Structure 1
Amino acid sequence: MKSDFSKKFSKPVFKRDVPDDSYKYQPAPKPSGKYPYHLDLETIDSVPDRNKLAFHMVGDTGSIRTPDFQKLVVGEMVKQFEATEKTGYEPQFLFHLGDVVYNFGEASEYRRQFFEPYQKYPGPIFAIPGNHDSDINPDSRVRYNSLDAFTAVFCDTERRTVPFSGNAGRKSMVQPNVYWTLLTPLANIIGMYSNVPKFGVVDEAQRQWLVQELKRADSERPGKAVILCLHHSPYSADVNHGSSIPMIGLLEGVFEETGIYPDIVFNGHVHNYQRFSRHYPDGRVLPFVVAGSGGYDELHPVAYTSDSRFTSELPIFRGVNLENSCDTRHGFLKVLLERTSAGITITVEFYTLPHERRAEPGVNAAMEDRLVLKI
């Protein structure tokens, strides 16, 4: 029989005795577009098949120490774009789950941590901010406001060369706000902004926006799926962060108030892959997927049950199970949407890379996990 020391948690965990860092909260910048902050994918890129859509999703890609792992991840995503055998499920864009740069959201970090690694990525890149993108370096010689650089890269009013990109070919994106919705023919992808503190903060204005966005997206069902994204992970079993009680309270409160649930929730923040299932009393099962192993060199292990710093014995964790995880390899998601006469199918594939800082010839990414949702 294995000892308890060999066992890892199979449920979310709460990390005890974490210092309060709510003082790090930063006011959000003014929107660059009009309420309700929508961007139609087809104004950025054509959609060849309105009944099929595939895209990449990943978070926590930047790194102040080495970009090696990020470059490996990007290289494998590029290979999926360039696959010679066409299936109709070639990725069309990347949706970034936040923490594009570390440790602070300084303009000087974007060239090395974003523009250079992604110079060969052929599709558009959309993003929501992470806590590191939003934080301000107190020792910086250049004065700047929270998310100044992020908004210049992702929330511009027109597509143009970013001044601090090193004259990169990738132009700025025109997202209308730091929280916003990407409209596609098969899904409404709602992206939130959860600020700087370790467990996230969402103000009342954004909460009310989320309520309205869920209602609007629900009105387009069953023709479109509803995908919800935020940087901070509500549920996690890792040793660095653990679960975010504030984000659980926010989402579950909104779901209960509206009676509307997304079809799936994606998060970053935690530097690993985790897939949870949240079981509700009415029989509904909502997947929560953590995809934060996109390049930051330090990965976050899942906690052992013998570690007294963590507990899973909280009422809000009832009905939430960790179905699969990977805390030893970097990777990325490929999300596939297909509409048939029976409805929309969402397929989520998690690909991992061998944990070396070099790429072998050919395809190195291997599918580690796969989830199929019929909605």
Structure 2
Amino acid sequence: MSDSSRDTAAGAGWGAAEPGAYRRLLPPASAKISWLDPRLLWAARNGVLASWLGDPTGRTRGRWVARQEAAGAPADKVIRRTDPDRFSFLVIGDPGEGDDPQYAVVPGLLTAGGDTSFAVIASDVIYPVGSADDYGPKFFRPYRDYPAPVYAVPGNHDWYEDLGGFMRVFCDDAPPLPPGPAPRPLTRAWLRSLLWHRPDPADGRHLSEARKLRSAPAQQAVQPGPYWAIDAGPVRIVGIDTGLLGTVDAEQGAWLREVSRGPRPKILITGSPLYVDGRHEPCPVEGGGTVDDIVRDPAHRYIAAIGGDIHNYQRYPVTLADGRVLQYVVAGGGGAFTHATHTIPRVAVAGVTERDFRCYPLRGDSLAFYSRLYGRRLRMPRFFTLTEAEATAVIAERLGIPPTRAPGAPVRVTRRVRLVAGLLGTARRPDRARRFRLPVRKVYTQVFSPGSATYSPPFFKCFLRLDVSPEAVRLRCHAATGNRAQEIAPPVEDEVTIPLP
């Protein structure tokens, strides 16, 4: 393995590194998504409509599930594989923008994961709205050389066209849903139906041609619906669909409780992480309780919960009251624009402290990355741009923690460095007051950050490899920077071995 970002700045991708070979994989003309384009924002309006006028995801999901069962999908939604007791699989979170950062993940993924039994995509397979015709350049083409099946759980972007493209690709070419019952006039549901974005009737006309890119028999898989379980070797992998707003409907919640029973150790894959950015987000279940209640129940024997949606890597080893340690992981760095980690405060949640917490990119690299973005965007590069050493030093000062990367030559933290760090939303120790800052944590990540994707390394993308044995699961987070060195030997940014009960 090459140096990781925890070892050296070069291991993080900084410096005059040789660019990777991933560009050869890109389509001849790859369209760039601009989240500042009003037309795109209008097409992606369903999440806002659902939050204002009521979320119809649960009812629509129920109709999809009923259709799949009527077509012969197993009622328990369990995929029973014949993997041996020792096998490996990949987790790729939020990949599908179809541009340089997504394709930059592929060479290292094939190097470090080409021998795995299958892969799982955790959330947002396709941006911006999950259209079927986007699957060619954003799914079939980038993963055409991955030799094994790919399963997926949808994210909110896959739901922006009522999950039609997702169901066609992953659920045996499921035909479109017929229109549901018309809502009563002059109600919130009626207004929502008038404004709701629906797929173009011609969408999917290129899907048959795209499928040829992953047409080998060993690459094929059919899943029973948007949520499922996989029995593989000694473990059960449970994938749930958290829809547009990060919640679980009552029908899926009842299934989750049922499929979680039994002695087999379990790993949850979810579109919404349960711990993220130093907070607990337990994911409500319609009718009462939360997904995390189910995961924590000792009778269900979960060992990890891995979620996408947030475009970086984080890990929280939470010790429960009965002494068990559950690994809560954010794994959304598979290709979409990078969410900041330098805005994460000093971690103190559920007994997890800064000593236990892991993230990628490191906070200092995240701050340096965003300082370059703002320098370009505001045409003030000399003021905003911080070196990775300056960013690492000011993060250590503001959070009161040791430098994450072994320090090199001493770095002076100047007033400018402190000012830039504050303007870019760098977290502070809890005893320090907040001052004015540019919109990074909320507005920036929701509006500007998606439009600030970079198309030159380092990208700070990642994927997970999980090696399963009867005794333990070894989880490793591999980095993808877009540089050649990390393609040849994908560095391990984090590693943990989880004993099986």
Calculate the TM-score normalised by the size of structure 2.
0.56
Q: Are the equivalent residues in 2 in contact too, given 1:211–1:258 (CA < 8 A)? A: no
Answer with 1 or 2: which has the greater Rg: 2
Q: Are the equivalent residues in 1 in contact too, given 2:296–2:302 (CA < 8 A)? A: no
Q: Are the equivalent residues in 1 in contact too, given 2:274–2:292 (CA < 8 A)? A: no
Q: Are the equivalent residues in 2 in contact too, given 1:93–1:123 (CA < 8 A)? A: yes
Specify every segment of 5 or more residues in structure 1 that has no aligned partner in the other structure, as ranges.
1-18, 83-89, 137-145, 307-311
Aligned length: 306
How far 1:166 moved relative to its partner? 2.6
- Deviation digits for residues 223-265 of structure 1, max 9, x if unmatched? xx31111110111017xxx653535951233356774341111
Q: Does 1:276 align with 2:276?
A: no
How far 1:38 moved relative to its partner? 1.1
Q: 1:201 to 1:277 in 2, by over 3 A?
A: same
Could you say what secondary structure the match of 1:210 adopts?
Answer: helix
Question: For the residues of structure 2 that align with 1:67 and 1:118, how far apart are their CA atoms?
Answer: 13
- Deviation digits for residues 164-187 of structure 1, max 9, x if unmatched? 553423256310111111111221
Could you say what secondary structure the match of 2:473 adopts?
Answer: strand
Where in structure 2 are the equivalents of 1:149-168 lying within 5 Å? Answer: 149-156=165-172, 163-168=207-212
Q: Are the equivalent residues in 1 in contact too, given 2:135–2:207 (CA < 8 A)? A: no
Query: Of residues 465, 472, 480 in structure 2, which corresponds to 1:345?
Result: 472
Q: Are the equivalent residues in 2 in contact too, given 1:107–1:164 (CA < 8 A)? A: no
% identical equivalent positions? 25
Question: For the residues of structure 2 that align with 1:107 and 1:157, how far apart are their CA atoms?
Answer: 11
Q: 1:93 to 1:245 in 2, by over 3 A?
A: closer
Question: For the residues of structure 1 that align with 2:479 and 2:108, how far apart are their CA atoms?
Answer: 9
Question: For the residues of structure 2 that align with 1:319 and 1:229, how far apart are their CA atoms?
Answer: 23
How far 1:352 moved relative to its partner? 0.6
Which AA in structure 2 matches 1:52? Answer: R
Question: For the residues of structure 1 that align with 2:206 and 2:238, how far apart are their CA atoms?
Answer: 25
Partner of 1:11: none
Query: Of residues 250, 255, 271 in structure 2, which corresponds to 1:204?
Result: 250
- Deviation digits for residues 134-187 of structure 1, max 9, x if unmatched? 123xxxxxxxxx1111011111179xx983553423256310111111111221
Query: Of residues 210, 224, 228 in structure 2, which corresponds to 1:180?
Result: 228
Specify every segment of 5 or more residues in structure 2 that has no aligned partner in the other structure, as ranges.
1-47, 175-204, 367-459
Question: For the residues of structure 2 that align with 1:116 and 1:286, how far apart are their CA atoms?
Answer: 35
Query: Of residues 64, 72, 76 in structure 1, which corresponds to 2:108?
Result: 76
Where in structure 2 are the equivalents of 1:49-60 lying within 5 Å? Answer: 50-60=84-94
Q: Are the equivalent residues in 1 in contact too, given 2:479–2:486 (CA < 8 A)? A: no
Which AA in structure 1 matches 2:165? Answer: A
Partner of 1:299: 339
Partner of 1:250: 290
Which AA in structure 2 matches 1:214? Answer: S
Q: 1:185 to 1:255 in 2, by over 3 A?
A: closer
Question: For the residues of structure 2 that align with 1:234 and 1:361, how far apart are their CA atoms?
Answer: 30
How far 1:73 moved relative to its partner? 1.1
Partner of 2:18: none
How far 1:301 moved relative to its partner? 2.3
Structure (1/2) with the larger strand percentage:
1
Could you say what secondary structure the match of 1:149 adopts?
Answer: helix
How far 1:323 moved relative to its partner? 1.7
Q: Are the equivalent residues in 2 in contact too, given 1:263–1:287 (CA < 8 A)? A: yes
Partner of 1:190: 238
How far 1:336 moved relative to its partner? 0.3
Partner of 1:115: 140
Which AA in structure 2 matches 1:209? Answer: W
Q: Does 1:231 align with 2:268?
A: no
Which AA in structure 2 matches 1:151? Answer: M
Larger deviation: 116-125 or 265-274? 116-125
Q: 1:247 to 1:71 in 2, by over 3 A?
A: farther
Calculate the TM-score normalised by the size of structure 1.
0.74
Structure (1/2) with the larger helix percentage:
2
How far 1:324 moved relative to its partner? 0.5
Partner of 1:127: 152
Question: For the residues of structure 2 that align with 1:175 and 1:206, how far apart are their CA atoms?
Answer: 15
Root-mean-square deviation (Å): 2.8
- Deviation digits for residues 276-331 of structure 1, max 9, x if unmatched? 1222222121111111000113333242549xxxxx88xxx433456211134111
Q: 1:192 to 1:302 in 2, by over 3 A?
A: farther
Q: Are the equivalent residues in 2 in contact too, given 1:55–1:93 (CA < 8 A)? A: yes
Partner of 2:325: 285
How far 1:132 moved relative to its partner? 0.8
Q: 1:129 to 1:292 in 2, by over 3 A?
A: same
Where in structure 2 are the equivalents of 1:207-226 lying within 5 Å? Answer: 207-215=253-261, 218-219=262-263, 221=264, 225-226=265-266
Question: For the residues of structure 1 that align with 2:234 and 2:283, how far apart are their CA atoms?
Answer: 30
Q: Which protein has greater RCO, CA pairs closer than 8 Å, 6+ apart? A: 1
Q: Does 1:332 align with 2:463?
A: yes
Q: Does 1:368 align with 2:493?
A: yes
